[in-house]
Amino acid sequence: MGRNKSRLVVLSGAGISAESGLGTFRDKGGLWDQYDINEVATPEAWERNPELVLDFYNKRRELVIKAEPNPAHLALAELEKHYDVNIVTQNIDDLHERAGSKNILHLHGEILKAQCSYDPTEVIDINGAHLKLGDLSSNGYQLRPHVVWFGEPVPLMFDAEKIVSEADIFVVVGTSLNVYPAANLLYTCKKFCKKYIVDLNELSNVKFNNLTQFQGKATERVPELVDELIKNPIIPTTL
């Protein structure tokens, strides 16, 4: 018996949360602009100056807590009534969760959690709390933000590839597709998987069959795409 709901996978990046007030990586004047990535988001930075790293993520956590999901996050949550939806996000914020999406894989970690700096499998909820030097895991090691830094392996990459490889529809929102290995996920799709990219910029380096680009703001173009996918349902494909 065939599946009655098509599998729809979303890959989201910083651009989907930009209109919620969380600056993207490459935004001028944003938080990332005030810091050198190598000084705050690498294992070497953590070795050199853990206090600066904690301070950077404490500020980002404050901004995430104040932010609200926008119409793009909400429209994607609405899709779950019509499709079997999985969200693979590069974002460390929790705006997809707060919008009501259920199946969310955080490829690059979650800012509202901390992990043991010795055993990365020990992850705890810290919600709104600031992390400080001296905050320890249950086995006595310093806690660090539960985020994947540049130069670190992406532990959930294999799970993400499996999810994307089963998609009938793949929707990419607000990612420059510059950060690897996440950018490789487009190549994992089935041949006849329908692909959509929503971004402020036209991503001219991406050439695929079955690809439609929705250029513009995520808060406008994602709800439009969602409406279209609801009005004209896409049937499951085995290829």
So which residues are the catalytic ones? 108
Question: Which two three-digit tokens encode residue 192?
Answer: 């006849």
Q: Which residue is nearest to ligand NAD (CB)?
A: 15
Nearer to ligand NAD (CB atom), residue 165 or residue 178: 178
Question: Which two three-digit tokens encode residue 217?
Answer: 């703001």
Q: Say how far apart CA 44 and CA 229 lie, in whole Å.
A: 44
Nearer to ligand NAD (CB atom), residue 7 or residue 73: 73
Beta strand pairing status for 109-116 and 123-125?
antiparallel
Q: Which DSSP string do the residues of 127-191 spell out, in sequence order?
A: TTPPP-TT-B-TTSPBEEEEEPPTTS--TTHHHHHHHHHT-SEEEEES--S-STTGGGGGGGS-T
Among 7, 96, 108, 194, binds ligand NAD (CB under 6 A): 108
In 3D, which of 115, 112, 117 has the Cα closest to residue 93? 112
Selected range binding ligand NAD among 86-94, 127-135, 156-164, 188-196, rule: CB under 6 A: 86-94
Q: Give the contact letters, 187-226, x = binds to ligand NAD (CB under 6 A), - = no.
A: ------------xxx---------------xx--------
Nearer to ligand NAD (CB atom), residue 84 or residue 148: 148
Among 13, 69, 71, 145, binds ligand NAD (CB under 6 A): 13
| Segment 88 to 107, residues that bind ligand NAD, using CB under 6 A | 90-93
Nearer to ligand NAD (CB atom), residue 86 or residue 90: 90
The secondary element (H helix, E strand) that includes residue 63 is helix 50-66
In 3D, which of 217, 226, 170, 178 has the Cα closest to residue 198? 217
CA distances from 187 to 54, 183, 193, 209, 211 (A): 35, 8, 11, 11, 12
Q: How many positions of this chain bind ligand NAD (CB under 6 A)?
A: 25
Question: Which two three-digit tokens encode residue 199?
Answer: 């971004």
| Segment 14 to 33, residues that bind ligand NAD, using CB under 6 A | 14-15, 17-19, 22, 24-26
Nearer to ligand NAD (CB atom), residue 18 or residue 79: 18
Interface ranges with ligand NAD (CB under 6 A): 13-15, 17-19, 22, 24-26, 90-93, 108, 174-176, 178-179, 199-201, 217-218
